[in-house]
Structure 1
């Protein structure tokens, strides 16, 4: 069985946010750059539930890790 391929759109939807490219671009524009010394999940733009979900995706769910890392790179620019 192949591992699922997640997208930024599906990540945003999992976080309870709109997953359109327009909405994602707007969110990144409004909430970045995150300082380099701040982990993605600790950024002020997330509520507690979203931060917990991001931490869980990074620490225990290998399927989500690459796309969360991609978002981290985009948000730290």
Structure 2
């Protein structure tokens, strides 16, 4: 996938999750995090998923942007309160 800018669907595929638009939206709606919990600390990840997220956040590249977008989406409820 080199040369292709990662998207949310690519991130979900890499995490081994359903990457359909509906599944991504449902995941985000049902996995909201409180303001104190970082995306990497979320209890719903497997260890492999957690490691992938941490690695991509540290890379500070295209993947980090997509992980950050997911992070923001998973904190929508805590921000709107």
State TM-score, norm by structure 1: 0.89
Structure 1: gaps (5+ residues): none
Q: Distance between the aligned counterparts of 2:5 and 2:37, measured in 1?
A: 27
**What's the counterpart of residue 30 of structure 1?**
30
Deviates more, 1:5-14 or 1:59-68: 59-68
Shift of 1:4: 3.1
Shift of 1:60: 2.2
State TM-score, norm by structure 2: 0.85
Q: Distance between the aligned counterparts of 1:73 and 1:61, measured in 2?
A: 16
Q: Distance between the aligned counterparts of 2:40 and 2:15, measured in 1?
A: 12
Over residues 13-66 of structure 1, what are the superposed CA-to-partner deviations in whole Å (9 max), with x where a residue is unaligned? 00000100011011111111x111211011112111101100000012512000
